[in-house]
Amino acid sequence: MDHEPIRYDTYRMKPGEFILSLLLAMGFCFLVGMIFYDHLIISSLLSLLGIAWIPGRKKELARRRKELVKLQFKDALYFISVSLSSGKSFETALVDAQRALERVYPDKNALIIKELELINARVTMNISVEQALADLADRVRVEEIKNFADVFTISKRAGVNLVEVIRNTSNMIREKIEVKQEIENLVAGKKLEQKILSLTPFLMVYVIKSSSSGFLDPLFSTAAGRMVMTVALLLLLAGYLLSKRIMNIEV
């Protein structure tokens, strides 16, 4: 085990990733400035707003990583349930799940493999499985993983049939994750439409500006016109944020 535990609520960009994201964001803001203001200095100043996009980008990447580890956790639960059904202990089931996922996933650095490797390493160092699972749930902060860790801890302390409880809990969590996957697939097309509609006003302004020489000059050359374009940009931004919030469906 040669990696540090991942904190899933935060995302640390690699230098190359940060520079590329910043250049794309600043370039987009500059392009928007040229379309809506047709002024080099204003567009250059507007490009600086791309810096403000980076925190949101990090948040989105962290959310995607959490979604990914949640989907991979569903696969881990399947292999854990299979091992438990064959009469193996939970600790052995975790080891079996890691080995099975290493054969299933082409990427040996998959998040769930690294997390199972960390849990199994801690168990060999006499750290309880409850602690290891609780740490995973605390770092990932995904409801399904937290529920699994809580059920495991309570079941072990209560001395109930651990195999049956864990198997039933695993099935319920897997079903919930699969339902959310189905919903995500259903709304994927709508999310694409939302992105296209968000870009349409910029394209319309550009087409009108390019095809009708002088038609929009009052909007670019007067203070009142620039104020109108600023208000339009703010409304477009508000519409984009509202549509994005609507598209975020929680299950």
Tell whether 128 is covered by a domain. Answer: yes
Tell whether 41 is covered by a domain. Answer: yes
pLDDT digits (tens, 9 = 90+) for 118-129: 999 999 999 999
pLDDT digits (tens, 9 = 90+) for 141-163: 988 889 889 988 888 887 777 77
Alpha helices in the chain (DSSP H): 15-37, 40-47, 50-85, 90-104, 111-124, 129-140, 143-158, 162-211, 217-221, 223-247
Tell whether 73 is covered by a domain. Answer: yes
Tell whether 5 is covered by a domain. Answer: no
Q: How many Å apart are CA 131 and CA 137, to the nearest integer?
A: 10
How high is the pLDDT of residue 23? 95
Residue 216 pLDDT > 80: no
pLDDT digits (tens, 9 = 90+) for 162-202: 777 877 887 888 888 888 888 878 787 788 888 888 888 88
Residue 17 near residue 65, CB atoms below 8 Å: no
How many domains does one find in the chain?
1
Tell whether 9 is covered by a domain. Answer: no
Tell whether 169 is covered by a domain. Answer: yes
Tell whether 6 is covered by a domain. Answer: no
Tell whether 2 is covered by a domain. Answer: no
pLDDT digits (tens, 9 = 90+) for 53-107: 999 899 989 999 998 998 899 889 889 888 888 888 889 999 999 999 999 888 8
pTM over 0.75: yes
How high is the pLDDT of residue 3? 60
Please give the residue range of the domain that contains residue 80.
Answer: 15-247
